[in-house]
Structures are given as C-alpha cells and as structure tokens.
Structure 1
Amino acid sequence: MSSNTNPILKLMGTSLIIEQISKNRIFSLRKKIIMGCRCRNWRTLFGGAMTNLLLAVIYLAFISLGLPDGLLGSAWPTMSGDLHAPLSRAGGISMTISAGTIISALLSDRLTLRFGAGRVTAFSVALTAAALMGFSFAPNYWVLIVCAIPYGLGAGGVDAALNNYVAIHYTSRHMSWLHCMWGLGALIGPYMMSYAMASRHGWQWGYRSVGVIQLVLTAVLIFSLPLWKRRPAAADAGTQATDRKPIGLLGVLRISGATQILIMFFCYCAIEQTAMLWASSYMVGMDGMAEDVAATFTSIFLIGITVGRFANGFLTMRFSDPAMIRIGTMTIGLGALLLLVPVHNPALSAVAFILVGLGCAPVYPCIIHSTPTYFGADKSQAIVGVQMAFAYVGTMLMPPLFGVIAQATTIAVLPWCLLVFVAFMAAMHEWLRALRRDDMAV
C-alpha cells in the first residue's frame, strides 16, 4: 500500500513546493512593484522640488535684473554735475548699453548652444555686476562709457537666455509673473538710488548697492548650475541641441513667420517706450496738467504694466497666448482712441495711458512664450535672441524719432502714432497665425 501511496504523496509534496515557490515569487514581485513605485514617487517629488527651486532662483533673477534699469535716469541729473558732463551725454551711455544688448542677444543662440542657459545666465549677471561696480567708482564720463559695454552685453545675454528657457520649460503664467517681477525690480531701483542720495551716500552707493545684489545673484546662479543640468537635453537649445548648429540672423529671417514675430516685437517696444517717455509731455501740453502731477501719472503707466502682468498670470490659465495678445492689442487701441476724444481732460488722459499700460502687460511675455510653440524648441533660442535685438532697436530708435516728429508737428500726434503701431502689430500677429497655423496646438 505504501508503494501505491508514495506517488500521491510525492505529487502532493511537489504541489506544496510549487505553491510555496509561487507565493514567494508573487511576494517578491509585489515587493519590487511597491519599491519601484516608491522610487518613482521619490524621483518625481525630488524632481518637482528641484524644478520649483530653480524657478525660485529665476524669479529672484528677474527681480534683480530689473533693479539697474531705472538707475541712470534717476541719478543722471546729479551724476552729470559731479562728472562735469552735459545732460545730453546720458544718451551716449544709453545707446552704448543698447548696442551691447543687441550684440549679445544676436549671439545668444551660439553661446547657449555651446555653454548652456545656466552658465550663460550666470556669466551675464556677473558682467552686469562688474559694470555696475565700475559705474560706482567711475571718475569721469568716459569710464561710464567703457563700463556701459559689459553692462549691455550682460543684460542682452540674460534677457535672451532666461526668456527662452522659461518659454520652453514653464507655463505662460510664470512668464507673465516673471516679467511682473522684472517690473517690480525696475520700480524699486530708482527708490534705492534716491535713498542713497538722500542719505548723503551719493549716487555711487546707489550703483554699488545694486552691484552687490547682482554679485550675490551671480553666486546663487553658480550654485544653482546643477539644477539647470537636471533639466532635459532640450533645456538649453531645443531637442537634440548637441546635434544642431547655430542658426544665425540670416537663418532666422528665412524661417516662415519669423519676420512677422520680429516686427511685432519692434512695434510693441515702440508703443511701450514712446508712451512711457512722452505721456508726461502729452498731458502737460494737451491737458494743461502740472508737470509734477504728469510725472506721477507716468509712473502709474509703469505700475499698470506691472500689475497687469500679475493679473495676466491668472488669465493665462484660461486664455491662450494668442488670445492674450489680442486682448492686449485691443486694450492698447482703446487707450489710444480715448486720447483722440476731443475733450482735453487730465483724468481722461490718465485713464487712457493706464489702459495703454494694461494692454502692454500681456503682449511682451505672451509673444515670447508662444515662440517655441510656433517654431519649435530647437529654433526658439535663435528667434528669441533676434526678438530681443529687435526689441532694443525699437526701444532705442522710436522714442527719439517721435520727438523729432512732435517737434516738427505737435505732441497731439502721439495717439495716432500709437494706433499705427498697434494696428501694424495686430496685422503681423494674424499673419503669423495664418503662416504657422498647421504647427499650432491652440
């Protein structure tokens, strides 16, 4: 009988062994799955934390980079006397800075492709910091001119590299809020300078304090370089960045739709800077407003842009970049039309210029943010660099050109000038949309 049951017992024993092995394998597999999920969750959480930390660094960078922009205008009346330079010489410094920004913006694609966005940003901020420290120790006007060269090169490099990086890796709301932070820095800078001069430290300490802030930012950016490297390979210059070559200015101009988006940038900066420079003169000349009151309303125009960009960050959660650009152009047009109302009322003009400022708020950041969508991440750095160059050309040329026109005619042509530029900008936007419609997902 034992001989008959032995096979059965053996079979039962084998089944038990197989069952135990199966349980062990299932347990082991379950353990691996759980550990794998935990590992992926940990990596996701860690990666998200690093992304947010880098975003915080970029926010600080935008605030800090806005600080120097208003220093020259607020300090030059005192600086010109101390350095025995005519008031008109400020234009030479401003044009030198603009020339530097144009050159570095045009080179940004080549530099970012070679060194990466993080290194280019850190080095550009270091250049700006060195230039500001040079300003603070300058014994004469010509030293200021020399220091203006690295100032412009640094400013253009930062603008092109950071704007493209954010356009590729972050949502439109962050682009709007980052430019809001830049506006906040641009508003704080003149107050820092006025405090330095009021406390009898002089304009030198105003430049020096902002220079120190830029040096601290340089150190922060250097320490944050590993965070930039954690981003995908497309972070610096688009997909397969290591396989492509710099596009160059002529290459950009050959891309379908590039000319239209560049003209949009030129028109936008012509509108913003012309309104910013001549709004006060318009209200004094046309409405009889007191000069000090008109100057206050000019600062409100800047506040309108800054506050508008903060609000637009929330609106971009609902509206696409093209929709925000259309809203902005219509608001600018409404403000310009209000200036044409044949009732010269200071309050009406103030409301009109605030509307122009609010309309300007979404246009600049949304054009930049839509660039990778229109043209692809592999071309966006080159195009954004040329966009920055066109922006600085518009900033440098159009406000003084309008001054010549107003001198030959009347300041009353300001709203017509704004309307021409906003109409041209809107036309270029719709033309761009038609050319690139097949590549758009919005």
Structure 2
Amino acid sequence: MTTFLLVIIYLAFISLGLPDSLLGVAWPVMKSDYGAPLETAGFLFMTIAGGTIISSLASGKILKRFGTGQVTFVSVLMTAGALLGFNFAPSVLWLFLFAIPLGLGAGAIDAGLNDYVATHYKAHHMSWLHCFWGVGATFGPIIMAQFISGQNTWRNGYFTIAAIQFTLAIILFFTLPLWNRVVKNNNTTSNEEIVDSDEIIRDGEVKPLQIKGVKLALASFLFYCGVEATVGLWGSSYLVNVREIPVAVAAQWVSFYYAGITIGRFLTGFVTFKYSNRSLIRTGQLLALTGAIFLFLPLPSVFSLVGFIMIGLGLAPIFPCMLHETPTRFGKKHSQTIMGYQMAVAYTGSTFLPPLLGFMASYTTIGIFPICIILIIAAMLLSSEKLNVLLTKRALLKRENANTTVI
C-alpha cells in the first residue's frame, strides 16, 4: 500500500512538471499569434510563479485542515482547468487570467508532496520525487514540439497536457483513502540520518532568520530556481533568434535540458548513498557553470545542445540535496520554518529573474541569455561556498568545545 501510494505521488509530481516547460517552448509561436512582444512571456511566467508563492506560503494551514491527498487532487484539477483555458484563450488577457489558477495549483502540490515524502518516506526518495518532476518537464516540450512541427499549432499541445492532467486528477480522486492509511501505518521518516545541530542554537536566543548561514542558504535557493526557470523559459527563444535553430528543433533541445535534470536526479537517488549532499551540490554547480560557458562561446550550434544537457545534469542534484540538508545545517527545531522560507524564496527567484532577463533582452538582445545564466550560476556557487565555509567553521568550533569539555 505504501509503495502504491508512492507511485501515485510520483505521478502527481509528473503532473507538476508537465506545464512548467510549455510556455517557454511555445512562446515563439504564441507571440506571433497574439501579436505580443517578447517580454510578455516573462510577465506570464511571473503571474504563474506569483500564484505559486502565495499557495506555498498558505499551504501549511490548508494541508493541516484538508490533508495532503485532497489538496493534491484539487490542485491537479485546478492546473488541468487552467491548461484547458490556455488552449481556448482568445487573447493575452485570458492567458494572464488562467495563469493564476495554474500557479496556485502548482504551489500547493509542490509544498504538500515535498512535506509528505520528507515525513513518511526515506531520504533518497526526495531525489527520485524531483526526478519525476523532470519526467513531466521533459515530456511537456516533446509533446508541444510534435504539435508545432506537425500541425503548426500550440493550442493542441496545451489541450493534450490538460487531458493528461485530468486523467491524473481522476486517479488521485479514487486513491484518496490511501493517504490517511499510510499516515497511520508508516512511521518512517527521512530524518533518520540528520545530525542534530540544535544544541548550537539555544532555545529563545535567535529567530530562524537570525541563524548564521540561513540568508546564504536562501540566496542559493533564489539563484537556483532563478536559473532553472530562466533556462527553461528563454532557452528556446535564444536558440531560435540567435542560433537560428527551427522552432520545433529548439523545443526538442530544451526538452534535453529537462531530460538532463530528470536523469541526473534519478542517478542522484543512488549516489546519495555514497557521496555527501555538499559534494553533490558543488559538483552540480560546477557542471552547470561549464554548460553555460558552452552556450556563451562562439562554437558550432551542436555545442549549444551539449551546453543545455550539461546545465540540466548539473542542476539535477542541487535542489533536492539543498532541501535534504536543511535540518543538518540549521537543526531540527527550526528546519520546518526555514524550509518554508526556502521554498518561498525559491519561487521568488523563478518569479522575478526570468522576466528580468526578458525585460533586458527586449531593450538589447536575447543574445545576453548565456551571459546572464553564467552570472546567476556563479552567484549561486558563491553563496553556497560561503555557507560551506561558515558551516565548516561551526563544526570545528563545536569539536573544539567538545574537546575542551572532555579535558
């Protein structure tokens, strides 16, 4: 029963990933149909992500009242309806209207399922959970590309994804009784291997945001989600307008970026048994930075594809590993609150950084895309490494204090 519900949760995370990559790959065609400027996609993305921020911040109270199963079902139903609305939208104004429930539904699914898996399943399932988000994010552009290249229409792509979402909603509806049963029967927690650092943070001394390193961790989440969303949203436009790649081919290349994230997270689930989260985060950031440099250099177009794949593979372990590190970094007492802050800041990054690039590109050129990606990844790496230095010093101080006490 527990395993069967885990399969359902994975399917729900596929549904979370399916819409995330659609707007970016379809926009080169959509903007021509609507006669909209390039930066409109950024504002649509901001609207979706804004809804996601609101629902993730409110998810704690909603989940406690209605339960994860019901919230997930309703959220998938909302996203399905919103995607169907995109299919029929007669103007850009209607796209903005349907972007609201799309974002609200996505935030509730993300927060609810992350918390549920962290509480009731072992640690490596976190990487695999986000791997299945990548499955959805990978197949979204593939499906859209088929309709753009075969029928020269993006609307049928949205209709197909909406139909898949409605199917998942039906499955979730009929499996609602399973959620409470697993809560009663499964006491497994993902925090089995957490090192308790609460002794460093005395009760009542500091608030979560005042703990040393929290702001650096928040910055890492901001830049991570910012770069992940920016590559997904503007990658296709960069390939079409700068590298002169056909729209359908560009959509397929972006799908390889999401495939890199998906495959990378699947492998990360196994690698976490041998390597630390810190090592995986650092390696991923360096690999993503190398891929971004490939996009920047004046190399043959095929190296752009290689760059996208490298960025995807590099980003793969960063987000789930940073989530899993939270209690170890800051202690179990404050981890739940800090986790909420991290998710909100992460969505803030995906809300504002992609539109910012679109705004700058509208006044310059989309050719600034690889430069911006390099700068964002570098900022993420810098924040992460500063946090590592701080945590290392704290660990050494703790060890010295322990030795002094023994003596």
Whether the TM-score (by the shorter chain) exceeds 0.5 is: yes
Aligned to 2:316: 361
Q: Is the 8 A contact 1:308 1:361 kept in 2?
A: yes
CA positional deviation for 1:52: 0.2
2:104 to 150, 153, 171: 153
Higher-RCO chain (CA-CA 8 Å, sequence separation at least 6): 2
1:185 to 130, 133, 136: 136
Residue 301 to residue 217, structure 1, CA distance change in 2 (3 Å): closer
CA positional deviation for 1:87: 5.0
Q: Is the 8 A contact 2:16 2:133 kept in 1?
A: yes
2:287 to 311, 331, 346: 331
Tell whether 2:388 aligns with 1:426.
Answer: no
* TM-score normalised to structure 2 length: 0.76
Find the aligned partners of 1:176 and 1:431 in 2 and give their Cα distance. Answer: 25
CA positional deviation for 1:383: 3.5
Matched-pair identity in %: 45
Tell whether 2:274 aligns with 1:318.
Answer: yes
Q: Is the 8 A contact 2:294 2:303 kept in 1?
A: yes
CA positional deviation for 1:265: 0.6
Find the aligned partners of 1:130 and 1:409 in 2 and give their Cα distance. Answer: 32
CA deviations 1:358-409 (Å, max 9, x no partner) are 2211001111233355556775554433323212221232244456399499
Q: Is the 8 A contact 1:271 1:421 kept in 2?
A: no
Tell whether 2:50 aligns with 1:99.
Answer: yes
Q: Is the 8 A contact 1:260 1:429 kept in 2?
A: no
CA positional deviation for 1:59: 1.1
1:266 to 195, 215, 222: 222
2:115 to 157, 164, 183: 164
2:7 to 50, 56, 65: 56
**1:274-289 correspondence to structure 2 within 5 Å:** 274-276=230-232
Tell whether 2:339 aligns with 1:384.
Answer: yes
Q: Which moved more, 1:288-297 or 1:154-163?
A: 288-297
Q: Which moved more, 1:101-110 or 1:202-211?
A: 202-211
CA positional deviation for 1:299: 4.4
Q: Is the 8 A contact 1:305 1:360 kept in 2?
A: yes
Residue 271 to residue 137, structure 1, CA distance change in 2 (3 Å): closer
Find the aligned partners of 2:33 and 2:23 in 1 and give their Cα distance. Answer: 14
Q: Is the 8 A contact 1:122 1:222 kept in 2?
A: yes
CA positional deviation for 1:206: 2.7
Find the aligned partners of 1:336 and 1:74 in 2 and give their Cα distance. Answer: 19
Aligned to 1:117: 68
Tell whether 2:345 aligns with 1:394.
Answer: no
Residue 354 to residue 312, structure 1, CA distance change in 2 (3 Å): same
Q: Is the 8 A contact 1:238 1:379 kept in 2?
A: no
1:217 to 168, 175, 179: 168
**1:11-22 correspondence to structure 2 within 5 Å:** none
* Structure 1 stretches lacking a partner, 5+ long: 1-49, 240-249
CA positional deviation for 1:432: 5.2
CA deviations 1:196-240 (Å, max 9, x no partner) are 4566595443323322222222232233232221234798x999x
Q: Is the 8 A contact 2:83 2:162 kept in 1?
A: yes
1:142 to 81, 93, 103: 93
Residue 156 of structure 1 aligns to which amino acid in structure 2?
A: G
Helix, strand or coil for the counterpart of 1:69?
coil
Helix, strand or coil for the counterpart of 1:68?
coil
Residue 273 to residue 87, structure 1, CA distance change in 2 (3 Å): closer
Find the aligned partners of 2:353 and 2:162 in 1 and give their Cα distance. Answer: 30
Aligned to 1:245: none
Residue 309 to residue 154, structure 1, CA distance change in 2 (3 Å): same
Find the aligned partners of 1:144 and 1:345 in 2 and give their Cα distance. Answer: 36
Helix, strand or coil for the counterpart of 1:171?
coil
1:227 to 168, 178, 193: 178
Aligned to 1:132: 83
Residue 203 to residue 261, structure 1, CA distance change in 2 (3 Å): same
Q: Is the 8 A contact 2:277 2:322 kept in 1?
A: yes
CA positional deviation for 1:421: 3.0
After superposition, the CA RMSD in angstroms is 4.0
**1:289-328 correspondence to structure 2 within 5 Å:** 291-292=245-246, 298-328=254-284
CA positional deviation for 1:410: 8.1
Q: Which moved more, 1:361-370 or 1:396-405?
A: 396-405
CA positional deviation for 1:53: 0.7
Q: Is the 8 A contact 2:217 2:383 kept in 1?
A: no
Find the aligned partners of 2:147 and 2:234 in 1 and give their Cα distance. Answer: 28
Aligned to 1:371: 326
Q: Is the 8 A contact 2:43 2:355 kept in 1?
A: no
Q: Is the 8 A contact 1:336 1:419 kept in 2?
A: no
Find the aligned partners of 2:292 and 2:219 in 1 and give their Cα distance. Answer: 20
Find the aligned partners of 1:54 and 1:86 in 2 and give their Cα distance. Answer: 44
Find the aligned partners of 2:15 and 2:239 in 1 and give their Cα distance. Answer: 32
CA positional deviation for 1:147: 1.4
Aligned to 2:402: none
Find the aligned partners of 1:349 and 1:84 in 2 and give their Cα distance. Answer: 28
CA positional deviation for 1:429: 4.4
Q: Which moved more, 1:173-182 or 1:369-378?
A: 369-378
Q: Is the 8 A contact 1:63 1:185 kept in 2?
A: yes
